[in-house]
């Protein structure tokens, strides 16, 4: 069975799944922004206590946390590019532009690139998401050596020319260009008033941690699978424990194969959608679908589950 046949079989079951209300969508965005601000504020207090083992460890944890929240905003940009985050299409665009500005990107540029990724996943000529990262060789089969290379690539900064972007274009509109300018001025002002706070809890989380998480996410999603013959074989799911998912996959983006198969399914329904698909023998037979661990049986409650429960 191909990806096309799987879609034909299950699309009717996944049609019309609920999106967030517009208000709830904005609350979610605000909660992630608030988490960044609170973590940066706490970090400022921590480094003000002086140098100690616990202050260094807590500061490092806060830096990592801020990077994951920036990635959460980026994940919302991803959802809005599919118009699957909130109910109203225009609100999806508005939220996408705001979140893109907060992460120094362009929503319209991202949407164009990402939709080409779905149409031509892994084709370095036509997949605009991957077009610029061919030299990072996500297509290499996953041997131990290749896996170690992917782990260390961000640690030595080799990913930075490909993943560190400041898109200051006005394509999304003057308002969002102005928002990006205001953010840069705020960071610059903070760098004068509290340089260590600005460096540790704004600049480094964005430049190093956020970019590294984006690279590692691309590796987890597609590394070693880029040359697959069918869409069923070009992406993978990562079945992470709930706490790990909350931190590193804050918008359920670990279910990347499910997303590629059914890009119209809102992210909030991806876990339940995956559970339903595990009843399909073809899907269940794919190691990349099952996170490398085959499922031999499912609880009765999941057998009768519907998406969104």
Q: What is the 3-state secondary structure (H, E, C) of 28-58?
A: HHHHHHHHHHHHHHHHHHHHHCCCCHHHHHH
pLDDT digit string, tens, across residues 156-167 = 999 999 999 899
User: CA torsion 163→31→174→197, rounded to 10°?
Assistant: -60
Residues 6+ apart with CB under 8 A from 86: 19, 20, 21, 22, 24, 25, 80, 92, 95
What the block records as the tokens of 307 is: 């998406």
Q: What is the pLDDT of residues 68-117, one digit of tens each?
A: 999 999 999 999 999 999 999 999 999 999 999 999 999 999 999 999 99
Q: What is the pLDDT of residue 292?
A: 54
What pLDDT is attached to residue 121?
A: 87
Contact 121, 222 (CB under 8 A): yes
Mean pLDDT of the residues in the chain: 91
Confidence bin at 124 (pLDDT 50/70/90):
confident
Report which of 236, 206, 210 is spatially closest to residue 138, judged by C-alpha positions. 236
Nearest to 308 by CA among 265, 250, 258: 265
Can you tell me the distance from the alpha carbon of 75 to that of 33, in angstroms, rounded to the nearest whole number? 13
DSSP-derived secondary structure for 104-128: T--HHHHHHHHHHHHHSTT-TTT-H
Query: In 133-149, which positions are buried (b, 16+ CB within 10 angstroms) versus exposed (e)?
Result: beebebbbeeeeebeeb
**307 — pLDDT class (breaks 50, 70, 90):** very low
Please give the Cα distance from 14 to 84 (Å, whole number): 13
Q: What is the pLDDT of residues 185-220, one digit of tens each?
A: 999 999 999 999 999 999 999 999 999 999 999 999
Q: Can you list the pairs that 240-247 forms with residues at least 24 positions away whose Cβ atoms lie under 8 Å?
A: 247/65, 247/68
* pTM (two decimals): 0.90
Q: Please write the tens of the pLDDT for every residue from 279-306.
A: 999 999 999 999 754 333 333 433 444 4
């Amino acid at each position: 069975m191909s990806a096309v046949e799987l879609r034909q079989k299950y699309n009717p079951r996944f049609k019309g799944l609920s999106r967030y209300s517009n208000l709830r969508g904005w609350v979610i965005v605000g909660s992630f922004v608030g988490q960044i601000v609170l973590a940066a504020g706490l970090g400022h207090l921590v480094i003000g206590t002086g140098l100690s083992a616990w202050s260094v460890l807590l500061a490092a944890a806060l830096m990592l946390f801020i990077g994951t929240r920036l990635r959460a905003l980026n994940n919302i940009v991803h959802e809005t590019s599919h118009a699957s985050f909130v109910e109203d299409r225009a609100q999806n665009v508005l939220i996408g532009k705001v979140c893109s500005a907060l992460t120094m990107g362009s929503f319209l540029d991202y949407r164009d690139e990402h939709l080409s990724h779905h149409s031509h996943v892994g084709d370095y000529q036509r997949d605009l998401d991957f077009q610029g990262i061919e030299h990072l060789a996500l297509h290499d089969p996953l041997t131990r050596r290749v896996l170690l290379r992917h782990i260390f690539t961000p640690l030595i900064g080799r990913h930075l020319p490909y993943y560190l972007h400041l898109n200051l274009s006005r394509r999304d509109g003057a308002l969002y260009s102005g928002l990006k300018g205001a953010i840069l001025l705020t960071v610059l002002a903070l760098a004068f008033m509290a340089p260590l706070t600005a460096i540790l809890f704004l600049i480094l989380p964005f430049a190093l941690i956020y970019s590294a998480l984006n690279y590692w996410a691309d590796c987890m999603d597609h590394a070693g699978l880029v040359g697959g013959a069918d869409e069923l074989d070009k992406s993978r799911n990562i079945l992470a424990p709930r706490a790990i998912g909350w931190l590193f996959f804050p918008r359920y983006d670990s279910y990347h194969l499910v997303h590629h198969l059914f890009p119209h399914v809102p992210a909030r329904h991806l876990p339940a959608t995956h559970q339903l698909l595990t009843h399909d023998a073809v899907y269940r037979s794919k190691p990349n679908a099952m996170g490398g661990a085959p499922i031999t049986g499912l609880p009765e409650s999941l057998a009768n589950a519907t998406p969104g429960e």
